[in-house]
Amino acid sequence: MGKVKTQKNAIIKNKQKAYLDKVKSGQNIIIAELPSGEIKSQLIRLGIAVESKFKCLKRLPGGTIVLVRKRQEIALGFDIASKISVIITDY
C-alpha cells in the first residue's frame, strides 16, 4: 500500500486543474470530475470515468479533442469537453 500512496502523492504534487477543453496536444491527464446526468453514463460506457488516465492525442478544428488510452482513441466535442474537469499531470 505504501507504493500506491507514494505514487498518487507524486501525481497530485505536480497537478494543474483545468477543463478538458483547455488541454493541449501531448498532455497527460486524469479525469477529476464528470458532468451529472445521462452524459455521465454515456462517458462511463466509453471508458471515461473519474481517475481514468488519458493522453490528449490532438485537438481538431472546431474544438474536438481526441483522447487516447492504451490503443483506444476517443473524440469528444467542445461542448462535452468543456464540462469535464481534469488534472494535467506528467505521469
Domain ranges of the chain: 2-89
pLDDT at 82: 96
Of the pLDDT bands very low, low, confident and very high (cuts 50, 70, 90), residue 20 is very high
pLDDT at 8: 52
pLDDT in tens, 26-68: 999 999 999 999 999 999 999 999 999 999 999 999 999 999 9
Q: Which CATH number fits domain 2-89: 2.30.30.90, 2.60.40.10, 3.40.50.920, 3.40.50.2300?
A: 2.30.30.90
pLDDT at 13: 56
**Burial of 81 per CB tally in 10 Å (0-12, 13-18, 19+):** buried
Nearest to 76 by CA among 52, 46, 50, 37: 46
DSSP 3-state of 58? strand
Cite the DSSP H helix spans in the chain. 2-13, 38-45, 78-81
Of the pLDDT bands very low, low, confident and very high (cuts 50, 70, 90), residue 1 is very low
